[in-house]
Structure 1
Amino acid sequence: MKGNSVMKPNRIAILNTNRIISVLPKHLDILRRTAPDCEFLLAEKAEDLPVLAADADALILWPSVGPDLISYIRNTPGLRWLHLFTSGVDRLINSEAGKIPGYRITSTKGIHGYPISDHVLALMYAFLRQLHAAAHYQQKRSWSSDILSGNCREIAGLTVGIIGVGNIGLELARKCKLLDMTVLGAKRQPITSQWLDKCYPISQLPDLLAASDFVVLCLPLTEESRHLIGREELRVMKNSAILINIARGGVVDQEALIEALEQGIIAGAGLDVTDPEPLPESNPLWGMPNVIITPHISAQSPQYMDRAIHVIAENLRRFLADEPLLDEVPRHGLESR
């Protein structure tokens, strides 16, 4: 009888594909306390989702999009919400999965400032104290003080230009300001902050580029930001300047960057992201002595999931309560199937 029927609990699928930053029992406990009436379905591979979570209402996942995941999303009509463990959504949005209608997308923002700002500072200090060059000479078993000592610099008094002053950019600005740097920011809508000496609109980006010893890219990849840094922008920078990119590889015209590095238009680059990823072995960036490459690890931290799970839990609460979701990505007409 209808009066005795029980409403099916919401089924929340979790695609736990990251072996380093994994969803542990303590994290599941937080989700279960947030939503005690939900059923949580854990899968380690996308190909397992059709069996483990055939009728899921929501999916929490990393943004590695392959045929199995696309097929699952397309063939799970009850799926109404996808939440990414990461801040960036471009890999999902720009894939075939991003074209499938009927579900909402949110991401995990506000937790990356600590590790990414640490990573940027590590790159800055590596260039200032010649650590990348010292590592090269160490491999040759060469005591190179006469070569390196003349190029060592201090960070105090230098100027850093941060393009994109959201959560990550402002945390970097805070740390740089405490190191006695001049801190410039650039944002579509300029802001005021105790950690910024000045914030420019993007239309005045050349002013920031010309004044900065370090230019740090902290903005998302959009149609507007693709190749934001190209030949013209690189030529505005100081010959002694270092470009650091922890955003997305596509924010920089990589061919123009290679030319600028080869011709001495800028002094160096610290790249945690490239275009494409992984960077092909034949790419000349690998062999450049004035380039430091890290494999998209700037957000990595033992505390990552401990922070992320609270953002996910809050959005789960909002999803179940039919409240506005945090950091929802506009679907532009793809809200319903």
Structure 2
Amino acid sequence: MSGGRILRVAVNLPSQVDIVDQALQDDFPEVHFLKARAYDELARVLPSCQVLITNNSGYTPEVGRLAVRHAPGLEWIQFTTTGIDTALRSGLPPGAVVTNMRGVRAEVLATHAMALLLGVMRGLHSFEPLRERRQWQRDAMTPFTRALEGGTLVIVGLGSIGSSIARKARAFEMRVVGVSRQGRSAPHCERVVPHTQFREVLPEADALVLALPLTEETFHLLGRNELAHMKPGAVVVNIARGGLIDEPALIAALQQGRLGGAGLDVVESEPLAPDSPLWGMQNVLLTPHIGGRGGVEQDHRLAALLADNLRRFQAGRELRNRVDARTGLALDAHADHPAGDQPSADPPGAGR
């Protein structure tokens, strides 16, 4: 950005996740922040802005057309989310720099993955019907409780999220096998295999965690054939994107008892349809895509990264967490390898 001009920034975020608070605005008195929560507001202000701050779900096809066709001065889009798969499908302007928030949400997402894993393997979901009936049935719970220690966890995607899951799983004395694009060794993993060997390690998994981006190559990564390779009673956890799993195939495996359970923070079509069988399954633990939510402290970290990138943009310096607007692949030479929070190093066949 050349010095001297006024920077106009469109902020298209729901109020509950808007990190552009008054404190951040006060730090940049020379910047005009234009809040545009509704599409018609955004259509009015975006054509005159150099920067758009938005999130993945908010970047709809309508917003994509607006950015591509009617915002010729748009130079940079900052996503406050990690995944940008919806934005990639909606179309990003080829001339704009695109950045995301990968890494910031890694620890809380990893914690949520472990919470789902613990909940399913310890049978917490199975106790809920008993709790509602106020029945203290210890023996009835016993068949649904399993130990984590000594079990094998297969993690698909070894970026900042997957690596954090591996570290936490080792604290529970689990054996960890990783799957990544190139299969290079990684901390806390007994071994790492390339994506070409993804199906080969499935029979080892007492639990499988998906922590990688959704791309054309990873769509329905876990399908009927892959599920058939898993050992009876295995658990599936997905905190990345629902489209990574063939949902009807997963439901069938759960209904037939071939899988021991599933912990899902994401589903293929959100919100989950009221008639989905997943709602009524006692071997399924569901949360409504909240794995990346981490409270006020996380909002401060997100705002800090945004502020740093704003200063870099004003000074004409390279922005952090750049991604390719065509593929979603990380462009930063120093970037963490992805997994759930960036696509560059995770298996294309094996989203946040």
* TM-score using structure 1 length: 0.88
TM-superposed CA distance for 1:248, in Å, is 0.6
User: Structure 1 residue 14: deviation in Å?
Assistant: 1.8
Alignment-derived partner of residue 81 in structure 2: 86
Q: CA-to-partner distance for each residue in 1:263-316, whole Å, 9 max, x for gaps?
A: 222111111111111111122122222111111000111123211122222332
Q: CA deviation at 1:140?
A: 2.1
Displacement over 6 Å in runs of 4+: none
Q: Does 1:310 align with 2:307?
A: no
1:71-150 mapped onto 2 (5 Å cutoff): 72-73=66-67, 74-95=69-90, 98=91, 100-150=93-143
Name 1:25's counterpart in structure 2: 22
Q: Percent identity?
A: 36
- Structure number, greater radius of gyration: 1
- 1:228 and 1:52 map into 2 onto residues whose CA distance is 40
Q: Does 1:285 align with 2:282?
A: no
Q: Which residue of 2 aligns with 1:328?
A: 322
**Match status 1:194 vs 2:187:** yes
* 2:52 corresponds to 1:59: yes
Aligned to 2:224: 231
1:67 & 1:87 partners in 2: Cα distance?
Answer: 19
User: 3-state SS of the aligned residue for 2:166?
Assistant: helix
Q: Distance in 1 between matches of 2:242 and 2:106?
A: 19
**Preserved CA contact (<8 Å) 1:221 1:251:** yes
Structure 1, unaligned stretches of length 5 or more? 1-5
Query: Aligned partner of 1:16: which letter?
Result: L
The Cα offsets for residues 25-83 of structure 1, whole Å up to 9 and x where unpaired, read as 233345x2xxx643332333332234455511001112213476346423222111111
RMSD over equivalenced CA pairs, Å: 2.2
Name the counterpart of 1:3: none
The correspondence for 1:177, drawn from 170, 173, 178, is: 170
Question: 2: CA distance between counterparts of 1:167 and 1:322?
Answer: 28
In 2, Cα distance between the equivalents of 1:68 and 1:204?
39
Which SS does the other structure have where 1:267 is aligned? strand
Q: Which has the higher contact order (CA 8 A, sep 6+)?
A: 2
Residue 10 (structure 2) aligned to one of 9, 13, 16: 13
Partner AA of 1:116 in structure 2:
L
Amino acid at match of 2:305: V
Q: Matched residues in 2 for 1:330 and 1:195: separation?
A: 30
2:64 & 2:216 partners in 1: Cα distance?
23
Alpha-carbon separation, structure 2, partners of 1:29 and 1:122 = 38
Report the residue type matching 1:110 in the other structure: G
Gapped runs of 5+ residues in structure 2? 328-352
Cα distance in 2, alignment partners of residues 224 and 50 from structure 1: 33
Structure 1 range deviating more: 66-75 or 208-217: 66-75
